[in-house]
Chains A and B, each alone.
Chain A
Amino acid sequence: MAESSPVLEVDNLVKHYPIRKGVFGREVGRVHAVDGVSFTLWPGRSLGLVGESGSGKTTAGRAAMRLIEPTSGDVRIAGEPVTAATGRRTLARRIAMVFQDPMGSLNPRLSAAANVAEPLRIHRIGDPRSRRQRAVELLEQVGLRADLAERVPAEFSGGQRQRIGIARALALSPQVIVLDEPVSALDVSVQAQVLNLLGRLQEELGVAFLFISHDLSVVRHVCDQVAVMYLGTIVEIGSREQIYQDPRHPYTQALLSAVPIPDPTVERERIILGGDLPNPVDPPAGCRFQGRCPKVQQVCIDTNPELVVRSAGGQAVACHFADDNAVEGESR
Chain B
Amino acid sequence: MDKLPQLSLPARILGLVIGIILTVIGIGFGFAQAISVQIIILSAIATLVLFYWAWRYLIGQFIDGEARHTDGLSPLRQAWTQYRWPLLGLGLILLAFLLLSLTVEAFFNIWNVISLIILLVILVLTRTLGRQFQQNRSAFIGIMVLAGLFSVGSMNIEGFSSGNNIKSMLLFASFLGIASVGQTLVALLGGLDLSIPFIIGGANVGLLYLIGLGVPPWLAVIIVLTIGTLLGVINGLLSYRLQGQALIVTLGTGFAISGGVQIITSIGSAYSGNVFGTVPAWLSNFSAMNGSTFGLPFPPVIAIWALIAIILIIGLRTTVYGRYLYALGVNRTSASRIMISEMRYWVAVYALSGFFAALTGGLLLGWSGGGFIGVGDQYLFLTLAAVVVGGTSLLGGAGGYGFTVIGVLVLQVLSSFLVGIGLDFKWQQFIFGLLILPMVALYARSPHIRTQI
A and B found bound together: no
